[in-house]
Amino acid sequence: MDVFAPDCLQGQTILITGGLGAIGQVVITHLLSHSARVFIGDIVAEDEARKLMRERGWPEARSGYYRADVTDASGARKLVEAAVAAFGRLDIALCHAGVACSRPILEVSEQEWDALLDVNLKGAFLVAQAAGRAMIRDGVRGKIVFTSSWVQDVPWPEITPYTVSKSGMKMLMRGMARELASHGIRVNGVAPGIVAVGMAKKQWDTNARFRQRAEKAIPLGFIQPPESVAEALLFLCSAASDYMTGSTILVDGGCSLYPMD
């Protein structure tokens, strides 16, 4: 049951990075259905992105797109300014872009380590920094939200670079929350569990060892629907979270309650 009114995000401009990924598309649909204006940043080619946006039925008047590499400071800044130019202001920045890889830590190359940390941690920092600067400049008491993961606190085999990036993101979020509170900017995070899309879904479907471990690690007993991530982000974008900053919402089916392998 939807506990939020269809117009609860009316007038709000929300930037989301990595928005054309599997979870991102579900998030955008939720935000648009609650009257937000959504500006999307991703690395997908412009024509391909526009085609996908039309196929999803996202209203042109309330959705925009800019191709940007968030690991580059100039790209992150241009993305934020494109959102401001499109809709007049930026109210909320969702630092959602991320990548993952599954490999034993002793087999991870320097290049793989750098690439993952660049997108997941550096990219989140650069977009959040650019968004914070724009909000302060324009007098917006806005919100910055990071998409982390339950593994920010619980090690999971063969994704150590990913867990490091999310652990770092958690402290980035808390540090920014402390520093930006005086400007009225709230900074929070959402930490999903094992979501039924992308690499996790593929492993769930094809890797018996992964599925056995994952099923044991989820107290609720079933893999996470992406809609639950979107609903948590909807809450953090809404006025219901206005007195929250420096917090992480765990939406993980209980994965983080205790370590299991």
Count the domains in the chain. 1
- Percentage of residues in the chain having pLDDT higher than 90: 86
Residues paired with 147 in a beta bridge:
190
Residue 50 lies in a domain: yes
Residue 182 lies in a domain: yes
- pTM of the predicted protein model: 0.95
* Interatomic CA distance for residues 85 and 235, integer angstroms: 26
Residue 184 lies in a domain: yes
Average pLDDT over residues 15-22: 97
Neighbour tally for 33: CB within 10 Å: 14
The backbone torsions φ and ψ at residue 81, rounded to the nearest 5 degrees and listed phi first, read -70, -30
Tokens of 112: 């793989």
Residue 156 maps to which CATH number?
Answer: 3.40.50.720
Residue 1 has pLDDT above 80, yes or no: no
Three-class SS of residue 5?
coil
Residue 122 lies in a domain: yes
Residue 208 lies in a domain: no
- Considering all CA atoms of the chain, what is the largest pairwise distance in Å, rounded to the nearest integer? 52
Residue 216 lies in a domain: no
Summarised one tens digit per residue, pLDDT across range 159-198 is 999 999 999 999 999 999 999 999 999 999 999 999 998 8
Residue 212 lies in a domain: no
Neighbour tally for 209: CB within 10 Å: 9
One-letter amino acid of 217: A
Is there a catalytic annotation at residue 162?
Answer: yes
**CA nearest to 16, candidates 31, 2, 4:** 31
Give me the torsion for CA of 225, 230, 233, 234, rounded to 10°.
-130
Summarised one tens digit per residue, pLDDT across range 69-110 is 999 999 999 999 999 999 999 999 999 999 998 899 999 999
- Determine whether 206 is exposed, middle or buried from the number of CB atoms within 10 Å of its CB (0-12, 13-18, 19+): exposed
Residue 8 lies in a domain: no
- Which domain range does residue 53 map to? 13-194+225-251
**CA nearest to 133, candidates 172, 171, 95, 76:** 76
Average pLDDT over residues 231-244: 97
